[in-house]
Amino acid sequence: MKFQGSQQYIATQDLMLAVNAAATLKRPLLVKGEPGTGKTMLAEEVASSLGLPLLQWHIKSTTKAQQGLYEYDAVSRLRDSQLASVDASEKVKDIRNYIVKGVLWQAFTAEQPVALLIDEIDKADIEFPNDLLREIDRMEFYVYETRELIKAQHRPLVFITSNNEKELPDAFLRRCFFHYIKFPDADTMRAIVDVHFPGLKKELLAAALKTFYDVRNLPGVKKKPSTSELLDWLKLLVAEDIPLEALQSKDDKVAVPPLVGALLKNEQDVTLFEKLVFMQKHNR
C-alpha cells in the first residue's frame, strides 16, 4: 500500500512521504494548513486510491468525543416504554437497541480495513483531542451500558485535519505523524489548476496566477485567497469569457481584476487592493 498521488489530486513529494510514513508507523496523519489547501480532499483521494472505504467525521464546535464512539438514546427508550405494543416492550428490554454507533465504532468493526477522517479537529473544544487519546492509541473502547469492549478488527488509516485555529495538546501531537501542507508555489498551483481546467489558455492562466499571488502577497491583507478561491475565480473568468487584456493592462500597470469578489472576501481587503492599484498607477 503506497500512496502516489492521483489523477484528480496533486500531491507533492513530501506529502506522499508523509502519508506513507503515517501508514508505516500506524499513527494518525495530522494534516495542517490554510483552508483550501486540499486537506479534506487528501483523505478522500488516499482512501480511493488505496481502495479503502472512507468514514468521515466532521467536527463542529459542539462535537463531543463520545459521539464518535456511541450515544445512548435514552429519550427513544423512554418513549418506547410508554407504548403499549408488544414489539416496543420487547425492544425496551434490551439496552443495545438504544445504543447509536459513532464513526469510530463503525470504523473499528468494519469487515474490511477502512480510512477514517476526523475533519477540522480544531473546531471542537480543547478537551476533545485529549478525550480521544486512548481510543486512537489502543484502537479500543468500552461500552459501559452493555459492558462490551469494542476493539478494532483492522487498524483504520486515520487522517486528522486542522486549520490551525487552536493549538492541539502535546499528548495528542505525540501520537500523530504531522504534516503541514505549505501553500502551493506557482508551479504546483499550475498543476492543480490543470487538473481542474485542462484546456485553460496558458496566457490567461499566467495572468490570473500573477494577480492571484499579488493579492495574496498584499501587505496587510486580512484573508488571503486560497486554492479553492482561485479555482472559483478561474471558473468565472472562463464562464464569463473575460479577455486576457482585462487581467493584464498593457504598460504593466495593475488593474483591479474583474470578479475580484471570488478572491477577496471583505471590504477592507478590496479597499486595500484598490489603493495599491491607484498608487501604482500614479507612480508610473
Ligand X SMILES: Nc1ncnc2c1ncn2[C@@H]1O[C@H](COP(=O)(O)OP(=O)(O)O)[C@@H](O)[C@H]1O
| Interaction residues for ligand X, span 64-93 (CB under 6 A) | none
Rounded to whole angstroms, the Cα distance separating 182 from 250 reads 33
Backbone angles phi, psi at 160, to 5 degrees: -125, 125
Least distance between Mg ion and beta carbon 196 (Å): 17
Q: Are 53 and 47 in contact (CB under 8 A)?
A: yes
Q: Which of 72/197 has CB closer to ligand X?
A: 197
Q: Residues 28, 36, 225, 257: which binds ligand X (CB under 6 A)?
A: 36
Q: Are 125 and 62 in contact (CB under 8 A)?
A: no
Which residues contact Mg ion by CB under 5 A? 40
CA angle in degrees (0–180, nearest 5) for 30-197-225: 50
Least distance between Mg ion and beta carbon 39 (Å): 5
Quick check: 5 binds ligand X (CB under 6 A)? no
According to DSSP, residue 144 is labeled T
**Binding partner of 228, given ligand X, Mg ion, none, CB within 5-8 angstroms per partner class:** ligand X
CA angle in degrees (0–180, nearest 5) for 178-163-184: 75
Least distance between Mg ion and beta carbon 50 (Å): 20
Backbone angles phi, psi at 3, to 5 degrees: -90, 130
Q: Residues 41, 238, 255, 277: which binds ligand X (CB under 6 A)?
A: 41
Quick check: 37 binds ligand X (CB under 6 A)? yes
Q: Which of 162/248 has CB closer to ligand X?
A: 162
Q: Which of 34/73 has CB closer to Mg ion?
A: 34
User: Interacting stretch for ligand X, rule CB under 6 A, among 62-70, 76-84, 224-232, 258-266?
Assistant: 224-232
Quick check: 129 binds ligand X (CB under 6 A)? no
Nearest Cα to Cα of residue 247 among 232, 231, 259, 263: 259
Quick check: 248 binds ligand X (CB under 6 A)? no
Q: Residues 49, 63, 227, 248: which binds ligand X (CB under 6 A)?
A: 227
Binding to ligand X by CB under 6 A, coded x per residue (else -) over 194-213, reads: -x------------------
Q: How far is CA 241 from CA 170, 172, 179, 233, in A?
A: 50, 49, 38, 12
Sequence-separated (6 or more) residues with CB below 8 Å from residue 167: none
Q: Residues 132, 192, 204, 263: which binds ligand X (CB under 6 A)?
A: 192
**Element (H or E) spanning 28, and its range?**
none
Residue 210: CB atoms within 10 Å: 15
User: Interacting stretch for ligand X, rule CB under 6 A, among 28-36, 68-76, 105-113, 152-160?
Assistant: 28-36
Least distance between ligand X and beta carbon 28 (Å): 16
Cell of 197: 481546467
In this structure, is the dihedral angle defined by the CA atoms of residues 260, 265, 268 and 269, taken in order, positive or negative? negative
Q: How far is CA 105 from CA 96, 108, 279, in A?
A: 14, 5, 59
Quick check: 231 binds ligand X (CB under 6 A)? yes
Cell numbers 483523505 correspond to what residue? 43
Quick check: 10 binds ligand X (CB under 6 A)? yes
Q: Which of 33/156 has CB closer to Mg ion?
A: 33
- Contact residues toward ligand X (CB under 6 A) are 9-10, 33, 35-41, 161, 192, 195, 227-228, 231
